[in-house]
Structure 1
C-alpha cells in the first residue's frame, strides 16, 4: 500500500483526489492549514517534515491565488527531497505559458521549480473547473446586468474527472508534462451565462464589455483553451443540473 500526501486536500480538487485514492486502497495524508494532524502552512513550512516522512508520492493541489505559491513549492520540494519522496504530481492550468495573468505566471514558475527539483515529477494542466465558471457568473449576476468579457470563451471541465486523472497519474510512474485536459466544449461566455440563468431560474440582461490589456487579448485569442484536447465528458449544463436540481 502506497502512502500519498495530498496538499490542499480539503479543497475543491484535493478533497476528491483524496477520496479517489482512499477508495483505491492507498493510505492518504491530507495536508492543509487547518487539517490535523498535518495542519501546515506551506508558505512557512513548519511541520512539513513530519507530514512527508515515509511518503512515497506527493500530490500538490494547494494554491493561494493571492500569493505565496512559489515559496510554498520551495518548502515542499526541499522537504520531499530530504524525505526521499519518489514522485511529485502537480496540477496546473492550461495557458500558464500563454496568458500573462499574474496567477498564471506563478503557476508556471512552480512548474519550473518542480521540473528542476531533481524529484520524479508529473505535471497535468487542465482548463477551468465548472465550479470556477459558476462562481464568476454568480458574482456577475449580483448586478441587474451581467457584465461579461467580450469575445472570450471558456472550456470548463468537471472537477471529478480531473481528480480521477490526477489520482491515476499519482499512482503511476513519474511522467513529466502529460497531455493537457480540457472540457468537452468551448463555449462563449454569453452561452455559459444563459445556461446559468436558465438553471438557476434568474433573469438578467447580458452586456459584453471589451477590455484592454495583454491578458485580456490572450484570453480573447484562446490562450487558455485546448479544443484539440476536449477529453472531458461532463457538460456545463449537466454540472448546473446537479447544483440547481429544483429548477429543472
Structure 2
C-alpha cells in the first residue's frame, strides 16, 4: 500500500481524508503544527519536514491559513518533496481563485501555480465552499438581532466528506493535473441558506440584505465562486444542519 502524507491532517478536510485513506489500508502520516511525531509548521519548514517526507510517495496538501503564509508553506513543502523524491503532490484549492480578486483566493491561485511549475507529478482539485464554513459565517452573523447578508450573493456549498472521498480517490491514482471542479448540489441565494440556518437552530432574526462595494463583492455577485456545471455533490445544507444539533 502507498505511504501518504496529509498536511493539515487534523483539520476539517484533512481529518476525513486521513480516515478514508487509512480505512483503505494505506499508511498515512498526519502533518500539522502540533501533532507528533510529524509536528511541523510548514511556514517554517526545517529538518522535521524532511523527516516527515522520507519514504512518502504521495502528499495530500490540505493545510491552509486564511490569515496568510500559504505561499511560503508551499515553497517549503515543494522543496522538501523534491528532495524526498515524492511522486505525487495533490492539492485542494477553491473554485473561483482565478476569478475572484480576494487576497486569500489570490494566494491559493499562487500556490496552484507553484505546484504546477514544481517539476513534481501533481493534481489540483478545486471545490466550492464547505457547509461547515457557511454555517460558521451564519453563526457569527446571527449573534446580532439583525442578520446582515451581502445582497445578491449566491453560494453552492458542498459536504466536506464528499470532497474528502474524492481526494482519497485522487491520492491513489496517477498525477492528473487540474481535474474537474467539485460543486455542491445546488446554487442557492445566501438568503435562503440563512433562513435554513435560522430554522434549524430555532433562532429568530430579521434578515437584511446589504449592498457592498468592491471588486471582490462584484465577482461573488456574478457567481465567480460557483461551479453550476459541476454540481456533483449530493448532501444539502439542510441535511448537514440536521446532523449537527449543537450547531
TM-score (norm 1): 0.98
Partner in structure 1 of residue 96 of structure 2: 95
Distance 1:229 1:114 in 2: 23
Q: CA offset at residue 140 of structure 1? A: 0.5
Once the two structures are superposed, residues 167-187 of structure 1 have per-residue CA deviations (whole angstroms, 9 ceiling, x without a partner) of 100110000000000000011
Partner in structure 2 of residue 147 of structure 1: 148
Q: CA offset at residue 244 of structure 1? A: 2.0
Q: What does residue range 131-210 of structure 1 map to in structure 2 within 5 Å?
A: 131-210=132-211
Q: How many residues align?
A: 246
Partner in structure 2 of residue 12 of structure 1: 12
Where 2:126 maps in the other structure, the secondary structure is: strand
Distance 2:235 2:146 in 1: 28
Q: CA offset at residue 111 of structure 1? A: 0.1
Where 1:38 maps in the other structure, the secondary structure is: coil
Distance 2:4 2:201 in 1: 38
Q: CA offset at residue 45 of structure 1? A: 0.3
Distance 2:75 2:168 in 1: 23
Once the two structures are superposed, residues 170-211 of structure 1 have per-residue CA deviations (whole angstroms, 9 ceiling, x without a partner) of 110000000000000011011000000110011100000000
Distance 1:159 1:25 in 2: 21
Distance 2:203 2:245 in 1: 11
Q: CA offset at residue 95 of structure 1? A: 0.1
Distance 1:98 1:231 in 2: 21
Where 2:52 maps in the other structure, the secondary structure is: helix
Where 2:28 maps in the other structure, the secondary structure is: strand
Partner in structure 1 of residue 39 of structure 2: 39
Distance 1:51 1:8 in 2: 13
Where 1:123 maps in the other structure, the secondary structure is: strand
Distance 2:9 2:37 in 1: 13
Q: CA offset at residue 155 of structure 1? A: 0.1
Partner in structure 2 of residue 223 of structure 1: 224
Where 1:12 maps in the other structure, the secondary structure is: coil
Provide runs of 4+ in structure 1 moved above 2 Å.
none
Partner in structure 2 of residue 2 of structure 1: 2
Q: CA offset at residue 110 of structure 1? A: 0.1
Distance 2:68 2:102 in 1: 13
Gap runs ≥5 in structure 2: none
Once the two structures are superposed, residues 130-174 of structure 1 have per-residue CA deviations (whole angstroms, 9 ceiling, x without a partner) of 000000000000000000000001000000000000010011000
Once the two structures are superposed, residues 79-128 of structure 1 have per-residue CA deviations (whole angstroms, 9 ceiling, x without a partner) of 00000000000000000000000000000000000000000000000000
